[in-house]
Amino acid sequence: MAHIINEACVSCGACEAECPVQAISQGEERYQIDPKKCTDCAACVEVCPVEAITKAEG
């Protein structure tokens, strides 16, 4: 399981600096999370100004 960034992302970049395992990077349309690196710590969720990061379902 991993966290995901949805279409609400405004590419502010705040989450990237917050991730302790460097799972977040800038994608073509918005920032993205590498599910193989994400540990579900949720540190990124706290800093996102538009609540674009959520825990993946399932």
Can you give the binding site for ligand SF4, defined by CB under 6 A? Answer: 3, 5, 9-15, 18-19, 21, 23-24, 30-31, 33, 38-44, 47-48, 50, 52-53
Minimum distance from CB of 58 to ligand SF4 (Å)? 16
CA distances from 55 to 10, 28, 40, 47 (A): 18, 21, 8, 15
Structure tokens at 39: 């540990």
Minimum distance from CB of 26 to ligand SF4 (Å)? 8
Minimum distance from CB of 14 to ligand SF4 (Å)? 4
Q: Dump strand ranges (E) for the chain.
A: 3-5, 24-26, 31-33, 53-55
